[in-house]
Amino acid sequence: MTDPDSFSNFANRSSSKWLRYPADVLPMHVAEMDFDVAEPIRARLAQMVVNSDLGYLGPFAKAGQAFESFALNRWGWQLDPTHAKMATDVGVAAVEILKAATGPGEQVLVNTPVYAAFFSWLKEADCTPVDAPLVLEGDTWKLDLPAIRAAFESGVRVYLLCSPQNPVGRIHTAKELTEIAKLAKEFDVLVISDEIHAPLSWVPFTPYLSLGQEAAATGVTITSSSKAWNTAGLKAGFLVTASDQVRAKLKLLPEAMQWRASILGAHAMVAAYEQGVGWLDQTVLQLQENLEHLRSEVANRLPQARLYEMEATYLAWLDLGAYKIQDLQQAILKEAKVAVVAGSDHGIDDDYPGFVRFNFATSKPRITEAVRRIAELCEGH
Ligand SMILES: Cc1ncc(COP(=O)(O)O)c(C=O)c1O
């Protein structure tokens, strides 16, 4: 990490995380990590720049093959790399799938609280979100299988699943996902499984398409190395299918999708999957340590706040509802000088006003400082 103990923003980074707000605001909002990018990825990119190797990305089998080996080693998932198609990023893959597979105004199931961009993707593809919210059991947010079944029974035929779930960091279990595959098969539902956070898991993760025939017949996975290896600006993602039934539903996907991904992103992906596993394992350990640090800071300084069990990601779902602060995210931004994502961005109807999403992929001193500032606002000291 470049500058762990200074609280002014990183001088050598120019991504939205660092430029969106003034330098005295701690940026704990957008899903980027403060850690340095893995050395093999930096080396690959540097070499490409030196070689002026910056042309169009043509058909590029290597990315699918590298992901195949990674997914097999990490999760025991055998995918067919010839059915991995590149896209500009995961958002573009989702929108293209939705455009190809849905009609005007079509209802698409989501489980809130969920990644805010899901709603803009649905809007862009002229789809209408339908919610089967996660349910809180003890300290764990879980899928509500009866509500999902009810949505399918009511006629919903497309399901945008966030697996692992951003925010809350839940790994949906193999049992839950198997049940979803069964229901999807029964009701002929297309399951779009967004698995971009999967490498950042510290309990076993189950890829949807690894779950046998019912999953293969219903699912399309969208993913990238960009979240786990912190290269969102490189613009490359892909989608994977495992059956002719799903490929028939996606037959309107544009041929040109592949040409709209970046050559740098595609090569970074190969470097990540082939040479970035050591870095990834270190990062996952670091995230677990940071989460424990966040938990202890929150327990000490924000006694009325609540954090939940997490199994993946660096995006904590923090319940500050007990403090009854109006327009919570804006108050935290303007008064505490910390940028977080508003809870209400993660629901359909301004749900979750007492929550914020807090990015803890930074240094421990920054986590401490952010919690201290939020506590000053909430606890008034
Ligand atoms: C669940 C999820 N999907 C997709 C994305 C964005 O992916 P991309 O930048 O490839 O569109 C994010 C970013 O945080 C995310 O959390």
Residues 6 or more apart whose Cβ sits within 8 Å of residue 167 = 113, 114, 115, 313, 315, 316, 317, 341, 346, 357
Is 165 a pocket residue for ligand 1 (Cβ < 6 Å)? no
Ligand 1 atom closest to the Cα of residue 226 is 10
Is 196 a pocket residue for ligand 1 (Cβ < 6 Å)? yes
Instruction: Note the pLDDT tens digit of each residue in 74-87.
Output: 999 999 999 999 99
pLDDT of residue 350: 84
Which three-class secondary structure state does DSSP give residue 165? strand
* CATH number for the domain running over 16-38+278-379: 3.90.1150.10
- Residue 166 CA to ligand 1 center (angstroms) comes to 9
**354 CB burial (10 A radius; 0-12, 13-18, 19+):** middle
The pair of three-digit structure tokens given for residue 212, joined into one six-digit string: 């046998």
Q: Which residue has the tokens 């037959």?
A: 251
Please report, as a single letter, which amino acid is at residue 343. Answer: G
Where does 32-173 have alpha helices with state H?
A: 39-50, 61-75, 90-101, 117-124, 145-153
Contact 249, 239 (CB under 8 A): no
Is 166 a pocket residue for ligand 1 (Cβ < 6 Å)? yes
Instruction: Note the pLDDT tens digit of each residue in 301-318.
Output: 999 999 999 999 999 999
Which three-class secondary structure state does DSSP give residue 194? strand
Ligand 1 atom closest to the Cα of residue 88 is 10
pLDDT of residue 5: 54
Contact 63, 238 (CB under 8 A): yes
pLDDT of residue 381: 54
Residues 6 or more apart whose Cβ sits within 8 Å of residue 115 = 162, 166, 167, 194, 346
In sequence order, the β-bridge partners of residue 162 are 194
Q: Which CATH architecture has domain 53-275?
A: 3-Layer(aba) Sandwich (3.40)
Separation of alpha carbons 83 and 39, rounded Å? 29
pLDDT of residue 12: 84
- Residue 69 CA to ligand 1 center (angstroms) comes to 22
Other Cβ atoms less than 10 A from the Cβ of 144: the count is: 16
- Residue 303 CA to ligand 1 center (angstroms) comes to 32
- Residue 76 CA to ligand 1 center (angstroms) comes to 23
pLDDT of residue 264: 98
Torsion of CA 184, 185, 188, 189, to 10 degrees: 20
Closest CA to 220 of 94, 319, 118, 53: 94
Separation of alpha carbons 187 and 153, rounded Å? 7
- Residue 374 CA to ligand 1 center (angstroms) comes to 26
pLDDT of residue 171: 98
- Residue 91 CA to ligand 1 center (angstroms) comes to 6
Q: Write out the residue limits of the CATH 3.40.640.10 domain(s) in the chain.
A: 53-275
Separation of alpha carbons 160 and 163, rounded Å? 10
pLDDT of residue 321: 97
Is 194 a pocket residue for ligand 1 (Cβ < 6 Å)? yes
Is 164 a pocket residue for ligand 1 (Cβ < 6 Å)? no
Is 232 a pocket residue for ligand 1 (Cβ < 6 Å)? yes
Q: Write out the residue limits of the CATH 3.90.1150.10 domain(s) in the chain.
A: 16-38+278-379
Is 356 a pocket residue for ligand 1 (Cβ < 6 Å)? no
The rounded Cα 179 to chain-centroid distance in angstroms is 22
| pLDDT tens by residue, the chain, 381 residues | 545 556 767 778 899 999 999 999 999 999 999 999 999 999 999 999 999 999 999 999 999 999 999 999 999 999 999 999 999 999 999 999 999 999 999 999 999 999 999 999 999 999 999 999 999 999 999 999 999 999 999 999 999 999 999 999 999 999 999 999 999 999 999 999 999 999 999 999 999 999 999 999 999 999 999 999 999 999 999 999 999 999 999 999 998 998 999 999 999 999 999 999 999 999 999 999 999 999 999 999 999 999 999 999 999 999 999 999 999 999 999 999 999 999 999 999 889 999 999 999 999 999 999 999 999 999 985
- Can you list the positions of beta strands (E) in the chain? 26-27, 84-87, 106-110, 127-131, 135-137, 140-142, 158-162, 190-194, 219-223, 237-241, 315-319, 338-339, 341-342, 355-359
First to last CA, the chain: 31
Give, for ligand 1, the residue of 196, 234, 262, 346 to mutate: max count of ligand atoms closer than 8 Å to Cβ: 196
- Residue 227 CA to ligand 1 center (angstroms) comes to 7
- Residue 193 CA to ligand 1 center (angstroms) comes to 12
Is 160 a pocket residue for ligand 1 (Cβ < 6 Å)? no
Residues 6 or more apart whose Cβ sits within 8 Å of residue 335 = 377
Ligand 1 atom closest to the Cα of residue 313 is 16
Is 222 a pocket residue for ligand 1 (Cβ < 6 Å)? no
The pair of three-digit structure tokens given for residue 74, joined into one six-digit string: 């990490």
pLDDT of residue 380: 85
Which three-class secondary structure state does DSSP give residue 312? strand
Separation of alpha carbons 282 and 278, rounded Å? 6
pLDDT of residue 240: 98
Is 115 a pocket residue for ligand 1 (Cβ < 6 Å)? yes
The pair of three-digit structure tokens given for residue 261, joined into one six-digit string: 């991904």
Is 226 a pocket residue for ligand 1 (Cβ < 6 Å)? yes
The pair of three-digit structure tokens given for residue 186, joined into one six-digit string: 């029964």
pLDDT of residue 137: 96
